Chain A
Amino acid sequence: MPKSLLIISRQAPWSGPNAREALDIVLAGGAFDLPIGLLFLDDGVFQLTAKQDAKALQQKDLSANLQALPMFGVEDLFVCGDSAAERGLETTGLALEEVQVLSAHDITALIDRYDQVITL
């Protein structure tokens, strides 16, 4: 049984490579059928904003990668409810529909449940 891995993605989408690289790790893990989870925390929740326009910055859209997560067998997708609320984001109508909203208390238990954690 491979070790389970939780990726915590806490950077906004367009200011650096971290958001994309966190997604790449998760997609790669999913492709190898690893038990892998993804939590959007702090400014990472901005990755889930609907109607973003990557072309304005001559960048590639992240939303296609987000939509690919369930196809790669990654179904453990979480968002911190407190982070979203602080940033004025409604947790309905996010770019990723399958995401579960967690409280700080839930996140403690989530981190505890995984064998390894990487925060980007």
Chain B
Amino acid sequence: MSTLHVLSHSPFGDDRLTSCLRVIGADDALLLTGDAVYALQPGTVPCTALNARHPTLFVLAEDARARALEIPDTAKAIDYAAFVELSIHYDKVNSWL
């Protein structure tokens, strides 16, 4: 069973990203939305942790664009239509509310 993990909170404010990276499985994927896209800020502790674990990574493009963040080659930029498709493609969605 595969899981799409969805993060939407800033990685600088709490432990969601850390916990998610700890439990994410080989068939799972991580989608960054909202303030969670700040995990892409180069040279920071969250970005280093993300690169070290390198999960299958999706990023909601408009949230990155709004925050002036570049989407790295290691991630796939998606829109809301692709978000819906992803949530169907994976067996379940785990939203880290």
Q: Which residues from chain A sit less than 8 Å from chain B, CB to CB? A: 12-15, 42-43, 46, 49-54, 56-57, 59, 86-89
Partner of B38, one of A12, A50, A59: A12
Q: Given A15-B35, A56-B62, 16 other A-B contacts at CB below 8 A?
A: A14-B67, A46-B67, A52-B66, A52-B68, A53-B66, A53-B68, A57-B66, A59-B66, A86-B12, A86-B45, A87-B12, A87-B38, A87-B44, A88-B41, A88-B42, A88-B43
12 A–B contact pairs at CB < 8 A?
A: A14-B67, A15-B10, A15-B34, A43-B10, A43-B13, A43-B35, A49-B67, A53-B68, A54-B66, A57-B63, A87-B44, A88-B44
**Which residues of A lie under 8 Å from residue B44 when comparing CB positions?**
86-88
For the complex, what is the distance from the CA of A50 to the CA of B38, rounded to whole Å? Answer: 14
Report the interface size for chain B: residues with CB under 8 A from the other chain. Answer: 20
Shortest Cβ distance from A10 into B: residue? B13
Are B10 and A51 closer than 8 Å at their CB atoms? no
Main secondary structure of the interface of A (DSSP, over half): loop
Known: A56-B66, A88-B43, A88-B47. A42 touches B13 (CB 8 A): yes
What is the count of residue pairs linking A and B with beta-carbon distances less than 8 angstroms?
Answer: 56
Measuring CB to CB, which residues of chain B are less than 8 angstroms from any residue of chain A?
8-10, 12-13, 34-35, 38, 41-45, 47, 62-63, 65-68
Residues from chain B with Cβ under 8 Å of A13 in the complex: 67
For B34, what are the chain A residues with a Cβ–Cβ distance below 8 Å?
14-15
CB-CB nearest 5 A-B residue pairs: A56-B65, A56-B62, A56-B66, A51-B68, A88-B41
Report the separation of the CA atoms of residues A46 and B12 in the bound assembly, to the nearest whole angstrom: 11
- Nearest to B67 among chain A residues (CB) is A52
Q: For A50, give the chain B residue with the smallest CB separation.
A: B68
Residue of A nearest to B45 (CB): A86
How long is the Cα–Cα vector from A53 to B62 in the complex, in angstroms? Answer: 9
Assembly CA distance A31 to B12 (angstroms): 34
